[in-house]
Amino acid sequence: MNNETILIVDDEPNILNAIKRLLADSGYEVLTAGNAEQGRALLQNREVALVLSDNCMPGRSGVDFLAQVKLMSPNTERMLMTAFANLDTAIDAINRGEIFRFIVKPWDNNGLLGAIEDSLMHYRLVNTLKVGGEAMFLSMARMIELKDPYTRGHCSRVADYALAIAEQLNLHNALLKEIQWGSWLHDCGKVGIPEHILNYPGKLSEDDFNFVRKHPEWGASVVSQAGLSQHVVNIVLYHHEHFAGGGYPFGLKGQQIPLEARIVAVADVYDALITDRPYRPAHPEPKVRSIMEEMKHSILDPSLVDLLFLTRDALDFTDSVTACRMLATSTAN
Ligand SMILES: [Fe+2]
Ligand SMILES: [Fe+2]
């Protein structure tokens, strides 16, 4: 049962009614306002999860109104509806962090519903993580893994491998804890990616891959809004940067990538190679080693790859690898 409140602001009653009808069976409480001032008054009295506002309205514009919403109620998600001609305004608002998404009028119903669901998932994640505590972080990580049976247990295993590397570097205990939490949450931005893309058993189209490439920034906005530390944000934001550059989202290189993110990148790649993926079976350990040797200097920090295998030889990861293979087999059946 969805019990969140959504506020729609538009000066055209037809639009308010159409969106209300669209959300009729969703279980959300839907409030409507004909202008920014009415919207502000409604927001003053209750907790609203999402404001969806038109841009061109008599009186204050949607962008200005949503900037005010950000001050009044920082937790509330903000979406802008705009005509195609005003796309520049909407993109500027996204870049300034004023809004999460925009919808171009006339909209496609599935696109609008999907964008609303993504915004609300963002809202729920931030609020759950804010409550904080290790158990909460781990349970959010597990909830994200449910979207993709192949990644069951991935976050915990990445944390095991990352900690094994980090311990060799004699990092202090507080940072080890941040690395564990960051490993659990590194893919939390994937909640915004539709399951048919996450579980696609082949090479993704350019558009779908571009969607997947947004997950670090999306996840970083969740963990930073939830007030988690900069180290956790760094892990989530930079875990797909490449040591030699050319990764995403920013194409950073070498030491520009925070150490904690380079550690988790090595752990993440190791776990991806050693387990089944939708598009290929797990690689045997010697093959994993040779692939990761080739990734040294290009994708991964070479010294950290060496440390992983040093630790790998000293410790026994066999239990987690065997356990995850059993899990993958049981979900495949
Ligand atoms: Fe990722
Ligand atoms: Fe991952």
Q: How far is the CA of 190 from the centre of ligand 1 (A)?
A: 8
- Identify residue 58 by its one-letter amino acid code: P
Could you state, in order of their start, the residue ranges of all structural domains in the chain?
5-125, 133-332
Q: Residue 314: what pLDDT? A: 67
Q: Considering every ligand atom shown, identify the ligand nearest to the alpha carbon of residue 151 and give its number.
A: 2
Q: Which residues lie at CB < 5 A from ion ligand 2?
A: 187, 268
Angle at 104 between CA 110 and CA 48, to 5 degrees: 70
CB–CB of 298/243 below 8 Å? yes
175: three-class secondary structure by DSSP: helix
For ligand 2, the distance from its centroid to the CA atom of residue 277, given in whole angstroms, is 12
Q: How far is the CA of 10 from the centre of ligand 2 (A)?
A: 40
Indicate the fold that domain 5-125 takes in CATH. Rossmann fold (3.40.50)
Question: 215, 213, 232: which is closest to 224 by C-alpha?
Answer: 232
- Of 67, 63, 95, the closest CA to residue 80 belongs to 63
CA 124 to ligand 2 centroid distance, Å: 21
Ligand nearest to the CA of 240: 1
Catalytic residues: 190
Cα of 79 vs centre of ligand 2, distance in Å, is: 28
Q: Point out the ligand nearest to the CA of residue 235.
A: 1
One pLDDT digit (tens) per residue for the chain, 333 residues: 468 999 999 999 999 999 999 999 888 999 999 999 999 999 998 999 999 999 999 999 999 999 999 999 988 999 999 887 677 887 888 777 778 788 888 889 988 998 898 888 888 888 888 887 888 888 888 877 877 767 788 999 999 999 999 999 999 999 999 999 999 999 998 877 777 787 777 788 888 888 889 899 989 988 998 899 999 999 999 999 999 999 999 999 999 999 999 999 999 999 999 998 877 889 999 999 999 999 998 999 999 999 999 887 766 555 554 444 443 333 333
CA 92 – ligand 1 centroid, Å: 26
Which ligand has the minimum distance to the alpha carbon of residue 266?
Answer: 2
Distance in Å, CA 133 to ligand 2 centroid: 21
Reported CATH class of domain 133-332: mainly alpha
Q: What is the pLDDT of residue 316?
A: 59
**Cβ contacts of residue 247 below 8 Å, gap of 6+?**
240, 241, 299
Cis amide leading into 249 (omega within 30): yes
Residue 278: asked if its preceding bond is cis (omega within 30°), the reply is: no
